[in-house]
Structure 1
Amino acid sequence: MKRWNWLYAGIERIFERPYQAGKIINRRYRIKDCLGMGSYGITYIACDIVTNQYVVLKQMRKTKRNKGTFSFQREAQILQMLHHPRIPKLYDSFTVKGIPHLVMELISGKTIEDLLFKEGKTFPERESFQLLMDILAIVEYIHENGIVHRDLRIPNIILQEGKVYIIDFGLARFLTESGRENNDDIIEKKLRREISVKSDFYALGHFMLFLLYSTYEPTVKEERSWEEELSLSVEARYILRKMLQIDVPYEEISQLSADVNRLLQKFTDGGVNDVIV
Structure 2
Amino acid sequence: MGSYGIAYKGRDLHTKRFVVVKQARRTKGEDGRRLLQREADLLARLRHPQIPRLYDRFVERGQPHLVMEYIEGETVEDLIFKRGVTYTEQAAFQLLRDVLMVVCHLHTLGIVHRDLRIPNIIWRNGTVFVIDFGLACRIGESVDVRDDDPVEKRLRREPHPRSDFYALGHFTLFLLYSAYEPISDEEKSWEEELDLSSNARRILRKMLQLDAPYDHVDELIDDVDQLLAEPIRNQAGAL
TM-score interval, normalised by the smaller of the two chains? over 0.9
Report the counterpart of residue 104 of structure 2 in structure 1.
140
Partner Cα distance (1:265, 1:116) in 2: 25
1:181 to 144, 166, 187: 144
Partner Cα distance (1:76, 1:249) in 2: 30
Render the CA deviation track for 1:161-217: whole Å, top value 9, x for unaligned: 000110000000011413x41325210110000000000000000111111111111
* 1:93 aligned onto 2:72: no
- Of 52-61 and 136-145, deviating more is 52-61
* Alignment of structure 1 residues 16-55 onto 2, 5 Å: 37-55=1-19
Larger radius of gyration: 1
Report the counterpart of residue 45 of structure 2 in structure 1.
81
Partner Cα distance (1:92, 1:111) in 2: 26
- Of 200-209 and 222-231, deviating more is 222-231
Contact residue 233 and residue 273 of structure 1 kept, 8 A? no
Amino acid of the residue matched to residue 165 of structure 2?
Answer: F
* 1:254 aligned onto 2:218: yes
> Which runs of no fewer than 5 residues in structure 2 stay unpaired?
none
| Secondary structure in 1 matching 2:230 | helix
1:162 to 126, 129, 132: 126
Report the counterpart of residue 235 of structure 1 in structure 2.
199
> Which runs of no fewer than 5 residues in structure 1 stay unpaired?
1-36
Amino acid of the residue matched to residue 196 of structure 1?
Answer: H
Contact residue 107 and residue 161 of structure 2 kept, 8 A? yes
Shift of 1:159: 0.6
Contact residue 140 and residue 160 of structure 2 kept, 8 A? no
Report the counterpart of residue 109 of structure 1 in structure 2.
73
Contact residue 129 and residue 260 of structure 1 kept, 8 A? yes
Amino acid of the residue matched to residue 38 of structure 1?
Answer: G
| Secondary structure in 2 matching 1:94 | strand
Report the counterpart of residue 86 of structure 2 in structure 1.
122
Aligned residues: 234
- Of 117-126 and 78-87, deviating more is 117-126
| Secondary structure in 2 matching 1:223 | coil
Partner Cα distance (1:227, 1:162) in 2: 29
Q: Which runs of 4+ in 1 moved over 4 A?
A: none
- Of 194-203 and 59-68, deviating more is 59-68
Distance change (3 Å), C-alpha of 1:191 and 1:220: same
Partner Cα distance (1:59, 1:115) in 2: 29
Shift of 1:100: 1.5
Report the counterpart of residue 95 of structure 2 in structure 1.
131
* 1:60 aligned onto 2:17: no
Shift of 1:273: 7.1
Report the counterpart of residue 151 of structure 1 in structure 2.
115
* 1:225 aligned onto 2:189: yes
Partner Cα distance (1:226, 1:50) in 2: 51
What is the root-mean-square deviation in Å for CA atoms of aligned residues?
1.4
Report the counterpart of residue 27 of structure 1 in structure 2.
none
Render the CA deviation track for 1:127-146: whole Å, top value 9, x for unaligned: 00000111111100100001
- Higher normalized contact order (CA 8 Å, seq sep 6+, divided by chain length): 2
| Secondary structure in 1 matching 2:80 | helix
| Secondary structure in 1 matching 2:179 | coil
- Of 108-117 and 201-210, deviating more is 108-117
Partner Cα distance (1:39, 1:124) in 2: 34
Partner Cα distance (2:187, 2:124) in 1: 34
Shift of 1:73: 0.6
Shift of 1:223: 1.6
TM-score of the superposition, structure 1-length normalised? 0.81
Partner Cα distance (1:122, 1:59) in 2: 36
